[in-house]
Chains A and B, each alone.
Chain A
């Protein structure tokens, strides 16, 4: 299978798992906005992923789920159990589709109705949208292309019936014509996809605008196709869907009555008048049930292709949905007399697309004979001849078989010379056997039907050739050969080198890694032991030996750690390889031209890190595509090459992985960001004046900030950079943004190679020790009192020409103690970088750097955001690891 699809499946499963976990968690904490936001994001991501593939049913359900979660997140809908159940059901449905997709890459048709059902259930929970009443008079826009919409008779009956039912349930109905621009392909538009994605699509067709020119003259780069659709989406939804090309569509409301146009084969002859009379009687007697029964009876007897049957089906639909419409029913019944469409125009108030009472096509059924039918009839004759020879009618039966066989062979254009002799033998012996043997031999012989598939006419001439081919002895090795050919490559695909690569459950690797981590920490106990041996027991020699042994164990432990990390290492190509397709599809959707370059795809990092990168990177790329890179026209106007460039680069720098996403788009306008942030109340007026351009740009990482003016289905909805930053933060990474207006934007992610072991520096404050993650520490300095200034009631210092605010850890942790200075009157200050600003953290003393395994705090304690977790030290004491991001 296509690795991209495989990836999608795997990720979808994970997301579905997370979604259900979050839904369940929300039941306990229905007011947790963090959970809701996360839940929304998961559904959003899953929907976005599914949109890359052609899984409209799945996308439809997820879209509805996303809208619902959006409403919940925004507080328009209160989360409740009534919400969770349909969501869980819908997710189960999506999971089922995923299961179906896995083996073959797609699921078979027939889930549209189910998908529609789930989507409807979800949308039913949404608050009533404040939709303006549909204004029929107004068309979308002045209509330069003057698309002529087709008559409704061109729409298949099933679609018209679905439309009727939709209209009965109160939905609007529109016929939509869509004429994409001739050169739409050059703008990366995908009219077909656009059409397929139309909401509440009931029917659609694509029609060439004019007769196709000869192949030599055909310009396949110009779109010459119009699309016609029937949909029950609202006008606003359709306008939203075609918002980029409103001038290319024509929208006409459909009068439901105009849908009722029976179609089908007429097949001449008078219609069964008794039926009409009886049906009208029942109608007059108000016996709807009797009428329905009568209609069903006739319908059962009629071929579904007949005009008659079509009319009957409409009768049933009307009976079911509008039993009170007597006039309508009557005309449908009476139409059976003439086999012409009922004139319903006076019944409807506004028949804008009045039914063209076109005469149904009077094509007779072709009734051509197919080879399978001949074989089936001949086999039946053999079966009849094999019946016991009894009954007074045996002779007649045998004769009828002979006549039938002769007719069949005649249809095949084959002679039946010996048939008469076989028949005579059977008749004289009063036994079917002679005829049976003859027929059997005939069917098994060289020209036996069923062995060779050539057309009916080409039978007897090629007998020797035909016989030579399917000799069983030769067919066998052929089949085996093909089998082995089939299996070999697939075997090779699954396991590149069988026996050399071991597939191991990730849980086992995780366990091994945890154990190794524990040992790395446990070995740290040896230096303590050595100290005690020396200081407490006075055995200096032993202390030295313990230290020597510690060095050995330390080396082995480090190697083990390295080795297990190697096992968990994955190349970033694992997530990079989805980008070519993503970029291509997004570029098409947005009508942009983008060239993607990937570098350093074989850079490796821990599996968890790589996986945690997937979502943020997609968001970043989407943002770049949506807001950064401009359309070809804009680029040209700005004097840039028409094609935008997007570079995703990975490289390893000591124990960090750096990932850089840069585009040569329009960059971020700090002024715009400032205005926006101010408008959203994220900064006040004073800040608006003071804030630097870089600081302004960094505002996009603030929760609640989204630069998207228009919500698009790509990045939109404000699942923005704050989510990206949080995801990166969680794995101990940092993110930096550099933007040059007009020239492009660069995002730099820096991530640890592994999260297994955390380097922390131990610090002391108020006679307690704490850990601070090393990746946040910029430097440690000892500041003399003279270097500390108070500006606007805040302590600050200047370090290498940079103003650094100072904060006392004791104060932050609400401990009532002044920072202790050392003998020289200097204060120990830890410079940490949170976000992009360095902050000085004043503590009492620095201690060593250790490797610890960070354990998140359990239960209620997890709410203490100022701690990242706890760790066990080599001497058995517990170290609380600070989380400076929350603390500051």
Chain B
């Protein structure tokens, strides 16, 4: 639609137990100039979120040990920077979305996600020039 904007600096934490998915996200996001970190479940993600500041979280729903909902609730309970979070799921019902929003997600994307779709939403939720 418009010309491709200059890459926006932004740190994104990709939380998914599937390595392939993480790689997929990483390829797309790094290709667009973002800094990507990975976590394989909610617990690892929480550790990273507490030790490092992120501007956006991409959260898978189903993960062993701690699922996406659990992670989000935990995240939103902490007194840290409350960066936007996108829940990623294969479910598309209103109930699933509501549950994600209730837990603290700010948007919801349904797999499979096209690179364009992922990138534009990340850009949107990061805002121009990243979030101060």
Contacts and interface: CB of A to CB of B under 8 A. Distances in A.
A302 to B, nearest CB: 6
Contact of A303 (B24, B73, B85, B127): B24
Interface stretch (A80-88, A383-391, A486-494, A686-694): A383-391
Interface string A350-377: 0000000000000011111110011001
Contacts of B2: 368, 456
A397 B76 contact: yes
A377 B112 contact: no
Contacts of A411: 123-124, 127-128
B106 A400 contact: yes
Nearest to B26: A269
Nearest to A381: B106
A265 B113 CA distance: 15
Interface in B51-79: 72-78
A640 interface: no
A381 B107 CA distance: 8
Given A365-B28, A366-B116, A404-B106, A275 B20 contact: yes
A404 B103 CA distance: 15
B118 to A, nearest CB: 7
B19 to A, nearest CB: 7
B106 A384 contact: yes
A377 B73 contact: no
A69 to B, nearest CB: 47
B104 A406 contact: no
Given A387-B101, A391-B73, A410-B127, A401 B106 contact: yes
B16 to A, nearest CB: 9
Interface in A376-415: 377, 380-381, 383-384, 387, 391-397, 399-404, 406-408, 410-411, 413
Contacts of B92: none
Contacts of B3: 368
Interface string A432-444: 0000000000000
A34 interface: no
Q: Which of B85, B98, B106 has the most CB of A within 10 A?
A: B106
A298 interface: yes
B111 A396 contact: no
Interface string A170-205: 000000000000000000000000000000000000
Interface in B81-131: 81-85, 98, 101-104, 106-108, 111-116, 118-129, 131
Contacts of B4: 364, 366-368
A474 interface: no
Given A367-B120, A410-B128, A411-B128, A301 B20 contact: yes
B32 interface: yes
Nearest to A387: B102
A272 B20 contact: yes
Nearest to B4: A366
B40 to A, nearest CB: 14
A393 B124 contact: no
A403 B85 contact: no
Interface string A774-801: 0000000000000000000000000000
Q: Which of B18, B31, B107 has the most CB of A within 10 A?
A: B31
Q: Which of A271, A275, A410 has the most CB of B within 10 A?
A: A410
B120 to A, nearest CB: 5
B20 A268 contact: no
A845 B103 CA distance: 108
A28 interface: no
A304 interface: yes
B23 interface: yes
Contacts of B119: 365-367
A880 interface: no
A301 B106 CA distance: 22
Given A267-B115, A274-B19, A384-B101, A407 B30 contact: no
A45 B49 CA distance: 74
A305 B75 CA distance: 33
A396 B19 contact: no
A629 B101 CA distance: 75
Contacts of A387: 98, 101-102
A400 B26 contact: no
A848 interface: no
Contacts, number: 166
Contacts of B75: 393, 396
B90 to A, nearest CB: 9
Contacts of A483: none
A387 B76 CA distance: 15
Given A275-B20, A391-B73, A407-B131, A267 B27 contact: yes
Nearest to B72: A393
A590 interface: no
Contacts of A373: 120-121, 124
A377 B127 CA distance: 12
A306 interface: yes
A52 B84 CA distance: 58
Given A300-B111, A305-B114, A370-B120, A406 B77 contact: no
B116 to A, nearest CB: 5
A393 B73 contact: yes
A380 B85 CA distance: 12
Q: Which of A275, A297, A397 has the most CB of B within 10 A?
A: A397
A394 B75 CA distance: 11
Q: Which of B27, B32, B127 has the most CB of A within 10 A?
A: B27
Given A396-B76, A403-B131, A407-B127, A377 B121 contact: yes
B121 A303 contact: no
A302 B78 CA distance: 33
A489 to B, nearest CB: 36
A306 B111 CA distance: 15
Contacts of B5: 368
Given A306-B115, A368-B1, A393-B76, A377 B102 contact: no
Nearest to B102: A387
Contacts of B1: 368, 370
A365 B124 contact: no
Contacts of A267: 27-28, 31, 115
A408 B127 contact: yes
A304 B82 contact: no
B17 to A, nearest CB: 12
A65 to B, nearest CB: 41
Nearest to A409: B127
Nearest to B78: A396
Interface of A: 265, 267-269, 271-272, 274-275, 297-298, 300-306, 364-370, 373-374, 377, 380-381, 383-384, 387, 391-397, 399-404, 406-408, 410-411, 413, 456
Which 9 pairs, one residue from A and one from B, show the smallest C-beta to C-beta distance? A367-B119, A396-B76, A407-B127, A393-B76, A399-B82, A365-B115, A410-B127, A400-B82, A267-B27
20 contacts: A301-B24, A302-B20, A302-B24, A304-B112, A305-B116, A365-B32, A367-B116, A368-B120, A369-B120, A373-B121, A377-B121, A380-B108, A383-B101, A391-B73, A393-B77, A393-B104, A397-B104, A400-B85, A407-B84, A407-B126
Given A400-B85, A411-B123, 13 more contacts: A267-B115, A269-B26, A301-B20, A301-B24, A303-B28, A304-B112, A306-B27, A381-B106, A387-B102, A396-B76, A400-B84, A403-B81, A407-B126
